[in-house]
Structure 1
């Protein structure tokens, strides 16, 4: 089990792109969303897949259980999802001694760009890149599970 502590921000401009290193294409689907917990299937670069269970334990913190899943089984599970498949490309960007993950959404959420930073402790301090917009940590409308469910309606 991993404890996930993260802060999330909207991205205000493309200044991060020149510093991007790793790039991965994700397609993720939610099998269930129930209050403070979710079960998600994610494919990565059309080659591998994971099954993830997350349980919220605080405003910025979740317990995360993640398991490798055969890719062909993930594709079958995705057909049984709730909502829409969330499509995004994730880029890693090093800044100020930290690695930021920049998610550029496609499909139903094209145009949305979100930056997140994972922390060791909720009180960790870090420099804010100039390309960040407003903080959206804890705003449910920007959570991937809500994007999956709302995308079905929107």
Structure 2
């Protein structure tokens, strides 16, 4: 099982100025619909529909994650549109949606997730090791480090959406 090591930051505003001046170079933009199929403690099973906003290309993934915080086990693989549609329809849940911008900030790849349903901006940085994650010094504009704050986790936000809609999660 692969280990995903990432830090997350709560952005106060989208960094338009840094993009327009070339400090941040946008590589791709995607629209992601994410639905959780099962949640148990620190384990999660989810599916995603990912649409590339430039090309219109769509991919579907199925992901298992285990653990909490900065480093977690992750298995992700592609699934067919038909399988995705079946499990989402059978589950009947409201997907968590976000616009993801993947960009370069110097030698660092960043992902900015804009959650329109809940008016939240989160910036993620993935690392090859815990040492790299621990040694990372973010620019001040990254905002609060929320890497270990459960209230900002995708699964918590998704559960809240289900409860607001009167659905079980």
Give the strand-richer structure, 1 or 2: 1
1:71, CA displacement in angstroms?
1.2
Map of 1:69 onto structure 2: 79
1:130, CA displacement in angstroms?
4.1
Query: CA contact under 8 A between 2:14 and 2:121: conserved in structure 1?
Result: no
Query: CA contact under 8 A between 2:112 and 2:124: conserved in structure 1?
Result: yes
The structure 1 residue matched to 2:129, chosen from 118, 121, 124, is 121
* Secondary structure, counterpart of 2:131 in structure 1: coil
TM-score (norm 2): 0.81
Structure 2 alignment gaps of length 5 or more: 52-56, 165-169
Aligned length: 151
How many angstroms apart in 1 are the aligned matches of 2:39 and 2:121? Answer: 23
Query: CA contact under 8 A between 2:7 and 2:125: conserved in structure 1?
Result: yes
Map of 1:112 onto structure 2: 120
1:84, CA displacement in angstroms?
2.9
Deviations 1:31-54 (A, max 9, x none): 001001000000111722010001
* Secondary structure, counterpart of 2:86 in structure 1: helix
Does 1:55 pair with 2:61?
Answer: no
Deviating more after overlay: 3-12 vs 41-50: 41-50
Deviations 1:3-61 (A, max 9, x none): 101111001222256132211111010000100100000011172201000111x6311
Greater Rg by CA = 2
Map of 1:42 onto structure 2: 48
Map of 2:14 onto structure 1: 14
1:65, CA displacement in angstroms?
0.7
TM-score (norm 1): 0.88
Structure 1 alignment gaps of length 5 or more: none
Q: 1:39 to 1:122 in 2, by over 3 A?
A: same
RMSD: 1.9
